[in-house]
Amino acid sequence: MERKSVACAVVGAAGRMGKRICELVSTSEALRLAGATERPDFPRLGETLQQALGSVAANVRLVGRLDEISDPFDVIIDFTFPAISMETVRFASRTKKAAVIGSTGFSGDEMEEIKKLSRAFPCVLAPNMSVGVNTLFKLVREVALILGDEFDAEVVEAHHRTKKDAPSGTALKIAQILAQAYGRDLTQVGVYQRKGFIGERTKEEIGIQTIRGGDIVGDHTVLFCGQGERLELIHRAHSRDTFAHGALRAALWVIDKPNGLYDMQDVLGLK
């Protein structure tokens, strides 16, 4: 029997990523837009997405909370901020709905709560859902293991001027991969800024540097600097569609999975 389309609820539908995800879901054959939310004070709540957002050809009404969505849905997609995404995770845990979370900037305590709550539902949480970036994650680990600690590792990320968290979740993920490959504790060796007379770079430190400006979608560079040579791994995102398509892929993948916390490495079969 042919499988029916997967019904999605999108949190933060008027945001940059939320709007694009709604647009892509509404034109997908495999996915169906069942509902969408925005913050409770959003001025166009109650209108259809077509009325409120214009470019989304859907008659789904925009509501303030997931439990106000009347049409049944299979999976929640959330690219917002930690405070909002934590409410999404708690809702998913109560209702046993699958979820795809693309927000970044979670605290250590929030991550622990997500891990605990995801025992009740399947959840894909990833700082970056791009296929290219997740390939980069795999390559970073392999290069670090090959080159060893004779090469200094540095991460540089650049994003648009309105991005609120720094460093990016992707840069932090890269730094964590490096630390694990080297057997180091990132909380002890991560260096996030350099200024003044700081002395020589230590052999153990991992630098994570941030650039903000203009409309940069997302650039990440990993430098392995040795004596007489340097290797660079670079990923540049030219469109947010890169992340949106990854989120849709994750939504289709996660609904059949056992409860637990997954990432895009699982979705793409890179582990």
Question: Catalytic residue positions?
Answer: 159, 163
- What are residue 208's phi and psi, to 5 degrees? -130, 110
Radius of gyration over every alpha carbon of the chain, rounded to an integer in angstroms = 20
CA distance 175 to 182: 11
List % helix, strand, coil for the chain (3-state, nearest 5). 40, 25, 40
Assess contact for 46 and 71: CB atoms under 8 A.
Answer: no
Assess contact for 155 and 206: CB atoms under 8 A.
Answer: yes
Task: Tokens for 42, please give them.
Answer: 């959003």
Q: Tell me the CA distances in angstroms from 178 to 140, 164, 187, 224, one per residue in order.
A: 7, 24, 12, 11
CA distance 104 to 181: 22
